[in-house]
Structure 1
Amino acid sequence: MSLVVGLDVGTQSVKLVAYDPANHQVVATHGQSLQLIAGNDGSREQEAHWWIDAIRHCFAKLSPAQRAQIVAIGVSGQQHGFVPVDAAGTVLAPAKLWCDTSTQRECDEIMTAAGGEQRCVELAGNPILVGYTASKLPWTRKHRPDAYRQLASIMLPHDYVNFWLTGERWMESGDASGTGWLDVRTRQWSSTMLAATDTQRDLAACLPPLVAADANFSIAPPIADELGLPRHVRVSAGGGDNMMAAIGTGNVVPGVLSMSLGTSGTLFAYADHPVVDADARWAAFCSSTGGWLPLICTMNCTVATENVARAFGFSTRDGDAIMADTQPGADGLTLLPFFNGERTPNLPYARASLHGVDLNNLTRGNLYRAAMEGATYALRNGYDAWCDAGLPFNAIRLTGGGSHSQAWRQMVADVFNLPVEVPAQVEGAAFGAALQALWAYESAHQSNTDFAAIAREHVLLDERLSAQPNASNVAAYEGHYQQFQRHLQNATVFYASHSTERAV
């Protein structure tokens, strides 16, 4: 028996999935939680060695026999992060993460230098939104000048883990398209966007080479020995967590809509051509399978439900029971769940706000439901842009921590008025990384390996977890969603008028 391993280096934890492709069976799943450094300025950071320590912890939980059977590893990593590394491979500062909103001023500076938001879309397919990697470079130059001066390699979180595993530096187009520098149409770096980020330095010299999606590399012998793995293990190109979740939900052909309910909320769909929106209503990313992955990302999803649960002293595992006696609309409560600022819509300085409170409706059940509804409505707001563009979908593939909740699965079906399907392997990003590792391994041993065929064979649906829209709930949610939209419009106007003074 041969095993492939997927590692998902997320914001809250590192997860490991060991998969036996011959028997279509996950033989082990392990995780290790991570800390988060949060600042009042919107900064969100982690130490890169925390990821490595967590990976060691996960591998240690596998039996020696399981470790001996591993033939390939794939790495999924939180997108948009920045790991500054010197020429010797030493990390120079904490990694700034995707949910870091302290660099909005730098976003504006880069886009101004490039000729404005519309020009950025023309050059690379995307504007520089808060959290994107590009903005973290000028921030580091200003606030950590010593680290910036010693900078030799710009790495994303999954790039750094790959570097630790193999001793080699590379980047692939899926994750690279979240930097803001990659022209997603051509899969080449935009020299203009790089120059707009720093006019005094050639940042291209700091970027690892781009490799094909099916590339694979040898694990470094000392790391193989440390982890108790065979020295012939191959490491695939890997990718961003959204790209890996797309693989893990079978989203490798056109027509599938996937939704991830994690710390962030995401919607993504595979395309066989670049899908760039002139108004930048969605992210025009590449996939990690050689195609493209238009994506809508909200920065606050399970963040909202977890904050409410923490405030009332219960676990989100009990959330469905807590809100069991509540009704769609949360008895008039509406939560704009912008605890981390927001990317879709682009409101980096926004904060969460609660509306519609009266003498009777402020209960923990209603507030928990309002948090879940608010996170779901925020995704629906982005989805409407795809509908306006004429992109049709017949069902939603659901993954992420929120997909474990029966109430949330039903809510998604009702709010979007689409059937919900749930893959049998709930750790979508980690499982997707394992399947990419399988693809890379098979590609190295035979020609013309079809990723779509791999997905059809290995991505199975759990029919017990599916949900169909409830007509009465669909109508009720539609009215409350319109109320959410009105509050969102008011917030958009307010934060747009105050963004200049907040940036100073």
Structure 2
Amino acid sequence: SIGGLTRMIDAVGNSQRTGYTAAKIYHMYRHEKEKYDKTTTFFLVHNYINWFLTGAKENGVRVMEPGDTSGMALWYPATGNWSQTVIDCIDPGLKHKLPPVRPSDQSIGLISAFLSEKYGFSAACKIDAGCGDNMYGAVGTGNIEPGIVTISLGTSGTAYTMMTEPYIDPSGEIAAFCDSTGHYLPLLCVSNMANGYDEILSHLDISHQKFETLIQHTKPGNGGRLLLPWFIGERTPDLPLATPVTFGFKLGDFTAEILCRAVLEGHVLGLFDGFERMNVSPAEIRLTGGLSKSAAWRQCIADVFEAETVPVSGEGAAIGAALHAAWVWHKENATPVELKQLTDDFVVCETSLRCKADPGRQKIYRAFKKVYRTLSDRFKDNREGDPFLARHELMQILQSGK
């Protein structure tokens, strides 16, 4: 038996979410059994590309690496072993369909002769092991030593930091991942980030600059008004049926200025509420994603996280992939360089946009973080029933017209 959160975390270091690979393989096993039986190898996407680059059916390299493999919920990052218990719950034969896991900081082989001849690559061109976007995002933002935290501000939001020892969260809210350098990368992901911001811009029919101006006309803490920004359900906390919740609002409070600050602070407080489980005090927060260009977002993150923020120029994951490949190539060609030397040379922080935490706001935001945490905890505690589930059932009745 592997049921329950505690047993699953003991087996693979993570909770069992639908987005992880184990659930997808199990779905295939149950609903597409014929295709499952015909499958000889389960790859993650970049492992499949590597197999193709190294020859595909003509002796392509069948291998995985720890970074993305740790997100499959089949493999335990702290030990580097497949969980036979979880595998057996799906199909004991699955073990034979999973490639071996090799280190991320090594090349896996040479490009195939076919691709070399067709596209003009050198026959000596090596194929890097590859890794996940967040793992390369860490490299591409210089997050390769303890104390640096990367926050990606996309449609969803992520926060992650490099650690030298594995971090296993008993609640399963912080994902236990490996990085691409032989270390670890605990990661928080929230489902809602830029989507709430985009919605308020659309609702008020305002520009990015107008949003910045409206924020300047409001005060931190928003008069005690809080938004739980769960526009599309939420991953952290694990409330898939959640909807946005306003707290502390009077009927006359739904003005443009107050709503804009509620969206800003709600998203940042939600990100911090999950991040706090890592028990990390950031020396610096590197920001990526479209919202990192916003002074209001950079300053609010600095104030809530009580750390300096600085946006990183360019696409962090793409830069990280290039730097990682260069690092591995140098290591394997008798001219080794430290990865930090490469990141220092090529990762560009936009220092003119750096924001420092405002000491005058510390007391306000520490109190506001407590408000957010206690309110969020109330919704996570379903002992008296789940209001979001009750609403979901109501909506089904309303939408059915019966």
Tell me the TM-score range normalised by the shorter chain.
0.7 to 0.9
Pair 1:349 & 2:236 matched: no
> 2 CA distance for matches of 1:477 and 1:127?
30
Structure 2 letter corresponding to 1:475: K
Q: 2:332 aligns with which of 436, 444, 465?
A: 444
C-alpha displacement of 1:261? 1.7
Instruction: Show the counterpart of 1:189.
Output: 82
C-alpha displacement of 1:408? 0.6
**Cα contact 2:153–2:193 (8 A) shared by 1:** yes
Provide, for residues 375-407 of structure 1, a one-character-per-residue CA deviation record: whole Å limited to 9, x for no partner. 2111211232233xxx44322222222212111
- How do 1:429-440 and structure 2 match up within 5 A? 429-440=317-328
Change (3 A) 1:438 1:486: same
- How do 1:193-272 and structure 2 match up within 5 A? 193-196=86-89, 198=90, 200-216=91-107, 217-220=109-112, 233-272=125-164
Tell me, what secondary structure is at the counterpart of 1:285?
Answer: coil
Provide, for residues 303-323 of structure 1, a one-character-per-residue CA deviation record: whole Å limited to 9, x for no partner. 221233344445657643454
> 2 CA distance for matches of 1:362 and 1:221?
64
Instruction: Show the counterpart of 2:195.
Output: 303
C-alpha displacement of 1:187? 1.6
Q: 2:366 aligns with which of 478, 481, 490?
A: 478
Change (3 A) 1:363 1:187: same
Instruction: Show the counterpart of 1:395.
Output: 284
User: Which has the larger displacement, 460-469 or 203-212?
Assistant: 203-212
> 1 CA distance for matches of 2:148 and 2:166?
16
- RMSD (Å), alpha carbons: 3.1
Structure 1 letter corresponding to 2:278: W
Structure 1 letter corresponding to 2:63: W
Pair 1:133 & 2:21 matched: yes
Change (3 A) 1:229 1:358: farther
Pair 1:414 & 2:303 matched: yes
> 2 CA distance for matches of 1:428 and 1:183?
27
Tell me, what secondary structure is at the counterpart of 1:235?
Answer: strand
> 1 CA distance for matches of 2:38 and 2:50?
21
C-alpha displacement of 1:209? 2.8
**Cα contact 1:322–1:365 (8 A) shared by 2:** yes
Pair 1:118 & 2:9 matched: no
Structure 1 letter corresponding to 2:67: G
Provide, for residues 345-376 of structure 1, a one-character-per-residue CA deviation record: whole Å limited to 9, x for no partner. 22233233333443333234433332222221
Instruction: Show the counterpart of 1:81.
Output: none
Determine which structure has the larger strand proportion and give its number: 1
Structure 2 letter corresponding to 1:283: A
Q: 2:266 aligns with which of 374, 377, 389?
A: 374
C-alpha displacement of 1:487? 2.6
> 2 CA distance for matches of 1:438 and 1:491?
47
**Cα contact 2:22–2:73 (8 A) shared by 1:** yes
Change (3 A) 1:164 1:325: farther
Instruction: Show the counterpart of 2:69.
Output: 176
Tell me, what secondary structure is at the counterpart of 1:154?
Answer: coil
Instruction: Show the counterpart of 2:399.
Output: none
**Cα contact 2:221–2:365 (8 A) shared by 1:** yes
User: Which has the larger displacement, 237-246 or 155-164?
Assistant: 155-164
Instruction: Show the counterpart of 1:358.
Output: 250
Structure 1 unpaired stretches of 5+: 1-112
> 2 CA distance for matches of 1:140 and 1:159?
19
Structure 1 letter corresponding to 2:73: G
C-alpha displacement of 1:117? 1.9
> 2 CA distance for matches of 1:319 and 1:227?
48
**Cα contact 2:151–2:285 (8 A) shared by 1:** yes
Change (3 A) 1:335 1:201: same
Tell me, what secondary structure is at the counterpart of 1:445?
Answer: coil
**Cα contact 1:256–1:395 (8 A) shared by 2:** yes
**Cα contact 2:2–2:85 (8 A) shared by 1:** yes
User: Which has the larger displacement, 178-187 or 328-337?
Assistant: 328-337
Instruction: Show the counterpart of 2:398.
Output: none
Change (3 A) 1:495 1:452: farther
Tell me, what secondary structure is at the counterpart of 2:287?
Answer: strand
Provide, for residues 169-218 of structure 1, a one-character-per-residue CA deviation record: whole Å limited to 9, x for no partner. 4321011101111111222211112222x1x4522222233222123244
Tell me, what secondary structure is at the counterpart of 2:185?
Answer: strand
**Cα contact 2:241–2:389 (8 A) shared by 1:** no
Provide, for residues 149-177 of structure 1, a one-character-per-residue CA deviation record: whole Å limited to 9, x for no partner. 44333233333444454434432101110
> 2 CA distance for matches of 1:124 and 1:402?
33
Provide, for residues 21-58 of structure 1, a one-character-per-residue CA deviation record: whole Å limited to 9, x for no partner. xxxxxxxxxxxxxxxxxxxxxxxxxxxxxxxxxxxxxx
**Cα contact 2:197–2:264 (8 A) shared by 1:** yes
> 1 CA distance for matches of 2:350 and 2:116?
35
Tell me, what secondary structure is at the counterpart of 1:267?
Answer: strand
- How do 1:34-183 and structure 2 match up within 5 A? 113-145=1-33, 147-166=35-54, 167=56, 168=60, 169-183=62-76
Structure 2 unpaired stretches of 5+: 394-402
> 2 CA distance for matches of 1:340 and 1:367?
18
> 2 CA distance for matches of 1:467 and 1:420?
5
From the CA coordinates, give the structure whose radius of gyration is larger.
2
C-alpha displacement of 1:481? 2.8
**Cα contact 1:332–1:361 (8 A) shared by 2:** no
> 2 CA distance for matches of 1:386 and 1:310?
34
Change (3 A) 1:219 1:305: farther
Determine which structure has the larger helix proportion and give its number: 2
> 2 CA distance for matches of 1:231 and 1:309?
52
> 2 CA distance for matches of 1:318 and 1:442?
48
Pair 1:466 & 2:354 matched: yes
**What is the identity percentage for the equivalent residue pairs of Structure 1 and Structure 2?**
33
